[in-house]
Amino acid sequence: MQYPFLSTAFLDTLEETGAVDPRRGWAPCHLGGGDHFLPLYQRADSRGEYVFDFAWADAYQRHGLPYYPKLVTAIPFTPVVGPRWRGDWSANALWEGVQERAREHGASGWHLLFPDQLAREVLAELPLIGRQACHFRWFNRDYADFEDFLGAFNSRKRKSVRRERRRIGEQGLSATRHSGARIEAHHWRFFYHCYANTYRVRGQRPYLSERFFLRLAETLGEQLLMVLAWHQGEPVAAGLYLFDDHTLYGRYWGCVREYDALHFEVCYYQGIEFAIERGLREFDPGVQGEHKILRGFEPVITHSLHWLAEPAFHDAVADFCQREARHVIGYRDEARTLLPYRREE
């Protein structure tokens, strides 16, 4: 199974269901097609990108320059690292195509978000600014099962995780995992209710529609994992993951009632168990959340690449990113001291 987010099934579903649409600030202007394809979007704002450049946009505005539209190569609403194009593109071919699109759309620049190492190596000679961030990721060190994983913890942190998992049963809760055809229609209805609720309680509109998820079930069903939490036979929470042959990606979560430690069980512990059972090497649970550290998720550096057409701003942003990187590295190093693993691990 290949990386799911760059697949035609995933990207086309975003467009077909209206999640990616010029009226919502995402105007597709891709390069190539089929097996030779670079996703490219003209953006009217920066929502749904998770690489925060709002201060850059404000600086442009203060100087009387338009920051939008800009061009973005990314997986919309999906801040996970991976390849960023299909096919064998050279750096020059990509650069020429992007520059042409930038002229056509009057774009202030190009931003490539969360590329993998191979993509960064291919583009290393281009005049792009590197920016860093810190996310958290779990690594499978050939664990036999969840208890084997906990065996790598120090005693106090191991007891803490076991206590959280016991709380699930003590509250009359249980969790089930469903994949592929085992995710039934009523599961999807409940999941979407939970997903949408996480936005509505904050007064926000969900990025994705129920039709998006139902369509995804048809096209990528064998790469979907749904975790459902139950209380006395009724569902009370749901989490949805995607996975490939190497990595589990935790993406969406919601609940209808709050319970102690339920989020950790649905979004982290069930995912770790699944990854161990499937022999997956990594688990990316999503952005932010320092609470992940104590549960075995390690701080890692992620990257984005940026080009701004206005030379003075390009130089100023390059200087900012260089200074910011020192703080990001320092944060990563400090976060590593909080990991629950025994020192020899």
d(CA 10, CA 226): 17
Helix, strand, coil percentages in the chain from 3-state DSSP, rounded to 5 = 45, 25, 30
When pLDDT is averaged across residues 202-221 and rounded to a whole number, the result is: 93
State residue 239's pLDDT score.
97
Closest CA to 135 of 306, 323, 285: 285
pLDDT band at 95 (very low <50, low <70, confident <90, very high): very high
pLDDT band at 337 (very low <50, low <70, confident <90, very high): very high
Q: Which of 5-19, 36-50, 191-205 comes out lowest in average pLDDT?
A: 191-205
Cβ atoms of 269 and 314 within 8 Å: the answer is no
pLDDT at 214 over 80: yes
pLDDT at 345 over 80: no
Cβ atoms of 31 and 241 within 8 Å: the answer is no
Closest CA to 150 of 163, 159, 139, 138: 159
What does the mean pLDDT of the chain come to?
Answer: 96
Per residue in 60-71, pLDDT tens? 999 999 999 999
When pLDDT is averaged across residues 290-307 and rounded to a whole number, the result is: 97
**φ/ψ (deg, to 5) at 194:** -65, -45
pLDDT band at 288 (very low <50, low <70, confident <90, very high): confident
Please say whether the structural domain 141-280 has been given the CATH code 3.40.630.30. Answer: yes
pLDDT band at 109 (very low <50, low <70, confident <90, very high): very high
pLDDT band at 23 (very low <50, low <70, confident <90, very high): very high
pTM for this predicted structure: 0.95
pLDDT at 343 over 80: no
pLDDT at 283 over 70: yes
pLDDT band at 204 (very low <50, low <70, confident <90, very high): confident
State residue 205's pLDDT score.
87
Per residue in 307-335, pLDDT tens? 999 999 999 999 999 999 999 999 999 99
Residue 256 DSSP class: S
d(CA 94, CA 231): 52
Residue 26 DSSP class: E
When pLDDT is averaged across residues 47-51 and rounded to a whole number, the result is: 93
Domain limits of the chain?
4-133+299-336, 141-280
pLDDT band at 173 (very low <50, low <70, confident <90, very high): very high
Distances (CA, A) of 91 to 111, 121, 126, 128, 206: 15, 10, 7, 12, 36
CB atoms near residue 79 (< 10 Å): 21
When pLDDT is averaged across residues 278-305 and rounded to a whole number, the result is: 95
- Of the chain, the percentage scoring pLDDT greater than 70 comes to 99
- Of the chain, the percentage scoring pLDDT greater than 90 comes to 94
When pLDDT is averaged across residues 185-200 and rounded to a whole number, the result is: 94
pLDDT at 279 over 70: yes
Closest CA to 8 of 32, 24, 27: 32
